[in-house]
Amino acid sequence: MAVPKSTQKLIKNTLDDYKFGFKTKNTAVFKTPQGGLTREIVEAISSRKKEPKWMLDYRLKALEIFEKKAMPKWGGDLSGINFEKIHYYLQPQDKPKTDWNDVPKDIKDTFEKLGIPEAERKFLAGTGAQFESEMVYHSLQKELTKKGVVFESTDVALQKYPEIFKEYFGKVIPAHDNKFSALNSAVWSGGSFIYVPKGVHIELPLQAYFRINAENMGQFERTLIIADEGSSVHYVEGCTAPTYSTDSLHSAVVEIIVKKGARVQYTTIQNWSTNVYNLVTKRAFAYRDAEMFWLDCNLGSKLTMKYPAIFLMEPGARGEVQSLAFANSNQHQDAGAKIVHNASNTTSKIVAKSISKGAGRSTYRGLLKVSKGAKNIKSHVSCDALLLDGASRSDTYPTMKIEESEVAIAHEATVSKIGEEQLFYLMSRGLTEEEAASSIVNGFAKPIIKQLPMEYALELNRLLELEMTGSVG
């Protein structure tokens, strides 16, 4: 028995609606012209931001690297990116605000529609909101400010905390890491800067929300998180954009330093519209007894190429990556994880799940490396793929490079469809075919979703839910 037609149709209809596709009319205060990336554009961005000389030099050097490096030949199809058409910098307002009432109405309304101010009141310790190239709003609970926590736009942090900024900026991901980290280093703008002092635990999550609004926009935010000894923080980012017929580019760099005994969780719910290329470099260094946890959910975008990395630098460090990818029609989710064991007594875990439907393509691409000299290493990697129809595609490319003998490493991967037996069983228990299919998809994604803070879990469940109303017949 094949999967019944009605289920196939239902699956096809699910998630075809993108509710964040609305546009906001907004006149930029300043924007760089199209026609390709030049030295003048980089200089204009830097002078507009009144940056110190070293940052301008850094940007110009990165620009040279960007021009020299070839486009990656692996992964997804990048031929649709036109660097000539992109606006590299677009400033929507003069400077970041700390009160929503000061944010221009059109921008504020956008974030109201996305539910950000409401979420902030309910369950967040701090919020940042980026519109185009700049953080338009940033705030942090007063008690945390008193404890010495810094949660600022990265641009503001460069002005306010120049020393600590210079010490860590570009150290985890240098400009020459790859073509897109070089691009980001040349034209970066916005993003969050977080510093958590020794021993401070931030109980509620900090959130940043990234919105691309203009057409042909390039968003290049730069995030730097430093968790000092024995501290902990959970950072959540969300991203959406309007649907345009032309393509936009989002290319962020996220650097995280987790010091001795600290813990950082970085949660992403990526839901870009399907005209956005999402090419992001994310990496964390975890030191003695520290723990880094990436929770990565990719639902949107045209093409995502993102492999959150953890370098375990000192004994006792632990790294974990859990990811969920959903590839629908015309989408390619090329996601994964990289873990490098550079020290003894370190452990890691990767759980990757992907769902492909409607000719969507999802790829797991991962690296697990044990460097020479790193002993007593434990690591477990598992990848599961669910194919919802015959037109979709799923790939798995895990790489394991092991240069030591005292290791225990296991990897497993499976690819499957919704089983007829599973459907049949659930239907025999009284569920309709649609409810059964829905339960199976939700059950598949649940191990990842349950790691999310409750409010996000509900949202993601709703996104994934196979609603049956009006879909049969």
Question: Is there a contact between 209 and 112 (Cβ–Cβ < 8 Å)?
Answer: no
Give yes or no for residue 401 binding other proteins (CB under 8 A): yes
CA distance linking residue 323 with residue 294, whole number of Å: 8
Residues in contact with other proteins, counted by CB under 8 A, come to a total of 32
Q: Which stretch binds other proteins (CB under 8 A): 36-44, 152-160, 401-409, 464-472?
A: 401-409
The DSSP H or E segment spanning 130 is: strand 126-131
CA distance linking residue 469 with residue 2, whole number of Å: 23
- One of 397, 431, 435, 459 touching other proteins (CB under 8 A): 397
Give yes or no for residue 330 binding other proteins (CB under 8 A): no
∠ at Cα 418 (414, 421), nearest 5°?
105
CA distance linking residue 77 with residue 137, whole number of Å: 35
CA distance linking residue 102 with residue 458, whole number of Å: 31
Of 275 and 328, the one with the shorter C-beta distance to other proteins is 328
CB of 362 to other proteins, least distance (A): 10
CB of 344 to other proteins, least distance (A): 12
CB of 406 to other proteins, least distance (A): 6
∠ at Cα 196 (163, 143), nearest 5°?
115
- One of 267, 304, 328, 392 touching other proteins (CB under 8 A): 392
CB of 439 to other proteins, least distance (A): 18
CA distance linking residue 185 with residue 179, whole number of Å: 10
- One of 27, 79, 101, 405 touching other proteins (CB under 8 A): 405
Give yes or no for residue 388 binding other proteins (CB under 8 A): yes
Give yes or no for residue 415 binding other proteins (CB under 8 A): yes
Of 75 and 453, the one with the shorter C-beta distance to other proteins is 75
The answer for residues whose C-beta is within 8 angstroms of residue 208's C-beta and 6 or more apart is 127, 128, 129, 130, 135, 191, 192, 223, 235, 236, 237, 238
Q: Which stretch binds other proteins (CB under 8 A): 197-205, 237-245, 338-346, 390-398?
A: 390-398
Reading the block at residue 420, the tokens are 């007829």
Of 260 and 353, the one with the shorter C-beta distance to other proteins is 353
Of 37 and 355, the one with the shorter C-beta distance to other proteins is 355
Residue 100 neighbours by CB distance under 10 Å: 19
CB of 377 to other proteins, least distance (A): 10
- One of 9, 176, 393, 446 touching other proteins (CB under 8 A): 393
CA distance linking residue 179 with residue 302, whole number of Å: 19
Give yes or no for residue 4 binding other proteins (CB under 8 A): no
Give yes or no for residue 416 binding other proteins (CB under 8 A): yes
- One of 43, 64, 106, 389 touching other proteins (CB under 8 A): 389
CB of 83 to other proteins, least distance (A): 30
Note the residue count of the chain: 473
Name residues contacting other proteins, limited to 13-72 (CB under 8 A): none
Separation of CA 182 from chain center = 18
Name residues contacting other proteins, limited to 353-382 (CB under 8 A): 375
- One of 109, 145, 399, 450 touching other proteins (CB under 8 A): 399
Nearest Cα residue to 122 out of 461, 436, 454: 454
SS3 298: strand
CB of 339 to other proteins, least distance (A): 14
Of 208 and 324, the one with the shorter C-beta distance to other proteins is 324
- One of 12, 48, 61, 417 touching other proteins (CB under 8 A): 417
Q: Where are the beta strands (DSSP E) in 301-376?
A: 303-306, 309-312, 318-327, 332-341, 347-356, 361-370
Which residues of the shown chain bind other proteins in the complex (CB under 8 A)? Answer: 375, 385, 387-390, 392-417
